[in-house]
Amino acid sequence: MTTTPFQVTVARLVVPVGPDDHTTGPDNAPVSLVEYGDYQCPYCGMAHAIMLDLLRLRQETIRFTFRHFPLTNVHPYADLAAEVAEAAAARGRFFQMHDWLYEHQRSINPRQLMVGVDHFGLPSDELADEVGAHVYLDRVRRDFVGGVRSGVNGTPTFYINGVRHDGGYALDELLEAVDVAAESM
């Protein structure tokens, strides 16, 4: 009788963080934390508040990157919200819009998205035209495909130094994972 040994595979980030990514934190941080998220996902909304605390507590330790993973089959405006975030990014306002989208995620719809655009004083007619023409959809899709290739199967999904974090995303769990990753550098 032959047996086949179990293979344990670790999901890894296939697309490395690059200059086109939305990042915050020190370039030389010992920990790279990548999140694949969806602006309408309630779990991502909960994780966002935790991320803000985590980044505040480990601001010298973490380089944070956000990538889009809109689950459009359950969140009808997730693509649209991601495109609005990208339009804001083209004007240097990605993380401001990112935070606003999570703060207002329960009311995300096309009209509410324009409220966010107006809130930041962005040119609403220009953004509406760009989003209507799906100028940024390729960027959103590129993030999504990279996530699929990296083993993302739901949101939020985190990668710590290129390895998928399969633990929970409570603050204490993420702090421990980040601290372990920082110590191993």
Give the single-character DSSP code of 30: S
Percent of the chain with pLDDT over 90: 94
Q: CB neighbours (10 Å) of residue 124?
A: 15
pLDDT, residue 145, reads 97
Q: CB neighbours (10 Å) of residue 149?
A: 12
- Alpha-carbon span 30 to 50, nearest angstrom: 20
What is the arithmetic mean of pLDDT over 62-75? Answer: 97
How many residues are given for the chain? 185
- Alpha-carbon span 115 to 117, nearest angstrom: 5
**81-110 per-position pLDDT tens digit:** 999 999 999 999 999 999 999 999 999 999
pLDDT, residue 185, reads 78
**114-163 per-position pLDDT tens digit:** 999 999 999 999 999 999 999 999 999 999 999 999 999 999 999 999 99
**20-54 per-position pLDDT tens digit:** 999 999 999 999 999 999 999 999 999 999 999 99
Give the single-character DSSP code of 116: H
CA proximity to 101, closest of 48, 140, 62: 48
Coil/strand/helix, residue 94: helix
Q: Which tokens hold the place of 136? A: 């940024």
Mean pLDDT, rounded, of the chain = 94
- Alpha-carbon span 128 to 144, nearest angstrom: 22
- Alpha-carbon span 86 to 91, nearest angstrom: 9
